[in-house]
Amino acid sequence: MQKQACLAIIFLAGLAMGFQMTTGELEAQDRGQARSMAISRYGIVAAESPLAAQAGVAVLERGGTAADAAVAANAMMGVVAPMSDGIGGDLFALVYDVKTGKLYGLNASGWAPTGLNIELLKSKGFRAMPEHGIYSVTVPGAVDGWQKLLERFGRKKLADVLAPAIRAAQEGFPVTEMVGALWPRYVDLLRASENAAQTYLISDRAPRVGEIFRNPDLAWSYRQLAAQGRDAFYKGDIAQRILELSKRHGGTMTAKDLADYSSEWVQPISTTYNDWTVYELPPNGQGIAALEMLNLMENFPLVQFGFGSTRALHVMIEAKKLAYADLMRYIGDPKSAKLPVAGLLSKAYAKERAKLINMDKANCAVDAGVPAAAGDDTIYLSVVDRDGNMVSLIQSNFQSFGSGLVADGTGFVLHDRGALFSLDPASPNALAPHKRPLHTIIPALMQKGDVRIAFGIMGGWNQSQAHAQFVANVVDFKMNIQAALEAPRFTKQTFDGCDVQMEGRIAGNVRAELDAKGHKIEARGAFSALMGGGQAVQRDFAAGVNYGASDPRKDGAAVPELPPEK
C-alpha cells in the first residue's frame, strides 16, 4: 500500500513537471509573430520562393558573395514565378560592400525604343499609354544588371550562378500556392499570344498548385547567357528573337536600342528617421516617396500614439497622400528633367507639409507641394553573406506577365514597364525615346550604429508606403525584422480620394474611428496580397551575427547557409 502511494506521488509529480514545461513553452510562444527569424553566423538568403533562397544559399556555400547569391536567387525566381519577374524585366539593387564600407546603387531599368514617342501613339488612337502589347515594352535591364553586380561584387561566373535555375527550368518544379493562385487570373492575356500560351499554359489552362511546370525555352535562354554573358541578350540570338517579335507586332525596337543599353551605378538617397538612416535609390524610382513619408511621420509622436492606433494610422495614411502627390507631380527620369530631389527630402519642407495633416479629418483631395529648387507585380529578395556584404534587390515585369508577349523560343515574357509613361508632354514622366519611365520597384536599406537591415516589400504603388510602415515598426515600435514584416498593414493604391485598404487584423474599433474621420476603409484578409510581400536580412556587425525574415504573404523563406567544412 505504501509502495502504491509512493508511485502515485511520483506519477503526479511527473504530471506537474510536464504541465509546467508545457505552460512555459506556451508562454514562450505567446507572441505577435508567426515565424521566427533565421539567425546565423553565416550567410542568409531571404526570397519569395524557398527554391530561390536555396539556389542563393548553394552559391554562398561554394564561396560566392552576397551579389553572386542574389543573382542566383533572382534567376530562380524567373523560373518559379514567371508572372512577376524574369529577364524580360528591369532590376534595381542596393549593395553594401564591407571592403569599402560604402553603399552602392544600381539602376538597371531600361529605356524606351528610339522610335517610340507620344506622336506615334496618338496617331494610332492611344490617349494613354497601353498597358499591354508591344508599345508597353521598354528595353529590359535585368540581364545587364546581373552582369554588373557580378563584375563588381561577385566571385562567380554567370554560368555558375545560373546553373540551379537552368536545371529547375529544364526539369520542372511543382507550382506553389501563391503562384498557383495568381496564374489563372491571366489566362486570357496569355491566350492572346501563341508564344505566351505555349510557354505558360498546360492544355490551354494555368498550371495547378502542385502540378509540375517546365520551361525548356527559358533554360535555353539561360544557357545562352551562361555561354556568352549579357551580349547574348542585347546583341546575340536572344536579341534577334526580340527584334523579330517587335517587328511582327508593329513595334519600333531596333538592334541599336538593345546594343547601346547599359545599366548604371547611382548614388543612393537617404533621410534620417529617429536616429536611423534610411536609404533608397534616386529617381526614376518611387523610393523618394518613402523617405518623404518618413520625414512627415517624424513630426508626430507615433510611439506615444501606439502601434495600430487610430492616430498612428491616420498620420501614416495622410503622409502617404502628401508624399505620393509630390511623387506624381515631380518625378521622372532625371536625365530628361531637373528634379527637385533635395527639396523634396528637406526636413523643413516636411515640417511645412506636415501642417496639412488634420488629426481630426482625412484629406480626400491632396495637392503637390512646392519644394525648394535644387540642382503590380514584382519579386524582392535580400542577401547577407558571412562577411557582412549585403544586397537588397528587386526585379519585376511590372504587371503580371507584363506585355503578354514572348519572343519565339525564349521562355520569358517581355515586361510592360512603358505603361507607366505619361502622354502629357508637360509631365516630367512624358514618353520620349531612350527615356526611362517612373518606376514602382524599389530596394531599401537602413542602418543605426553597427546594425544594417536590407529590406524591400513588393507590390506596385504599395511599395513606398509599405517601406515607411516597416521602418516605423522597427524604429518606433521596436519589432524585430520578422515581426515588422508580419505586422498588419494598410495600403492606398489610388492617388485621389479617401479609399484605404486594411488587413482584417487591424482592430475593428480602430477601423471605425478612422471611418469617422472620413477614411473609406475596406477590410481585407488577415494577410492580404494587396499589402505586398517582403523580405529582409539584418547584420549585427558588432556580434558578427546575421538575421533573416520572410513575409508570410508569400511562398518564401529566409534560409541560412550551413557552416563551411573546415
So where are the chain's domains?
A: 47-265+378-420, 287-330+339-374+449-554
Distance CA 159, CA 415 (A): 24
Distance CA 393, CA 391 (A): 6
399 has a pLDDT exceeding 50? yes
Per the prediction, the chain carries an average pLDDT of: 92
Query: pLDDT-based confidence at 3, cuts 50/70/90?
Result: very low
What integer is the mean pLDDT of 508-532? 96
Quote helix, strand, coil % in the chain, to nearest 5. 40, 20, 40
Number of other CB atoms surrounding residue 7 within 10 Å: 10
Q: Which residue is catalytic, options 65, 271, 378, 491?
A: 378
Distance CA 152, CA 108 (A): 14
Stated as kind and residue range, the H or E segment containing 35 is none
Secondary structure class of 196 (helix, strand, coil): helix
Distance CA 237, CA 252 (A): 18
Q: Which residues pair with 45 in a beta bridge?
A: 383, 559
Distance CA 323, CA 453 (A): 23
371 has a pLDDT exceeding 80? no
Are 18 and 10 in contact, with CB atoms under 8 Å apart? no
What integer is the mean pLDDT of 115-127? 95
Query: pLDDT-based confidence at 20, cuts 50/70/90?
Result: very low
Distance CA 79, CA 63 (A): 24
Place of cell 558571412: 386
Buried/exposed 491-508: b ≥16 CB within 10 Å, e otherwise: bbeeeeebebbbbebbee
**Helix runs in 63-208, H state only:** 66-80, 118-123, 142-153, 158-171, 177-182, 187-191, 194-200
Are 105 and 268 in contact, with CB atoms under 8 Å apart? yes
pLDDT at residue 328, rounded to an integer: 87
Instruction: Please give the share of the chain, as a percent, with pLDDT higher than 90.
Output: 86
Are 382 and 535 in contact, with CB atoms under 8 Å apart? yes
pLDDT at residue 333, rounded to an integer: 81
Buried/exposed 104-123: b ≥16 CB within 10 Å, e otherwise: bbbbbbbbbbeebbbeebee
Burial class (CB in 10 A: 0-12, 13-18, 19+), 475: buried
Size (the chain), residues: 566
Are 125 and 46 in contact, with CB atoms under 8 Å apart? no
Place of cell 501613339: 121
177 has a pLDDT exceeding 80? yes
pLDDT at residue 369, rounded to an integer: 77
376 has a pLDDT exceeding 60? no
pTM of the model: 0.93
Query: pLDDT-based confidence at 25, cuts 50/70/90?
Result: low
- Selection from 239, 242, 224 nearest residue 137 by Cα: 242
Burial class (CB in 10 A: 0-12, 13-18, 19+), 164: buried
Query: pLDDT-based confidence at 28, cuts 50/70/90?
Result: low
Distance CA 385, CA 378 (A): 24
Are 401 and 190 in contact, with CB atoms under 8 Å apart? yes
Tens digits of residue pLDDT in 189-223? 999 999 999 999 999 999 999 999 999 999 999 99
Secondary structure class of 410 (helix, strand, coil): coil
- Selection from 404, 291, 393, 390 nearest residue 342 by Cα: 291
Q: Is 378 a catalytic residue?
A: yes
**Helix runs in 346-488, H state only:** 347-354, 462-475, 481-486
Are 168 and 72 in contact, with CB atoms under 8 Å apart? no
Stated as kind and residue range, the H or E segment containing 456 is strand 451-457
Buried/exposed 193-204: b ≥16 CB within 10 Å, e otherwise: bebbbebbbeee
Distance CA 547, CA 131 (A): 39
pLDDT at residue 182, rounded to an integer: 93
What are the backbone dihedrals phi and psi of residue 378, each rounded to the nearest 5 degrees, phi first? -160, 160
CATH 1.10.3470.10, applies to 287-330+339-374+449-554: no
Number of other CB atoms surrounding residue 259 within 10 Å: 13
Tens digits of residue pLDDT in 138-149? 999 999 999 999
